[in-house]
Amino acid sequence: MKTILVVDDSRSLRQMVAFCLTSAGYQVSEAADGVEALEITQGQQFDLILTDQNMPRMDGLAFIESLRTQTAYQKIPILMLTTESSDEMKAKGRAAKATGWLVKPFDPEKLIAVVKKVIS
């Protein structure tokens, strides 16, 4: 079973993403910010990371940049799921080596389709 780490400071959002992905057959772990996510990724390998941008302690871009320095996570797909929709922020995401950018609110069907596409 493919494993996905969902990183978001909103508990309700994490729960909804986890619900959709679990229903689609994925195993989901959760983290509330970049710092917690980095701690989790130290001890576990995931097949995909789905992260928010604006979070306390460490935001999504800083988290991706840090994660990409780890050999185990250089090729793992990382999707941003955020309220941020500006071209400037998307460019920063691309520079940080994110795989894609999804703007909230997310549509469960589209989310699952994108996850399927990048995880394969």
Judged by the rule CB under 8 A, the positions of this chain that interact with other proteins are 8, 10, 12-13, 15-16, 19-20, 53-54, 83-86, 89-90, 93-94, 98-110, 114, 117-118
Q: Which residues of 99-116 are buried (b: 16+ CB within 10 A; e: fewer)?
A: bbbbeeebeeeebbebbe
Q: Would you say 25 or 39 has its CB closer to other proteins? A: 25
Q: Would you say 39 or 117 has its CB closer to other proteins? A: 117
Q: Would you say 36 or 108 has its CB closer to other proteins? A: 108
Q: Would you say 19 or 44 has its CB closer to other proteins? A: 19
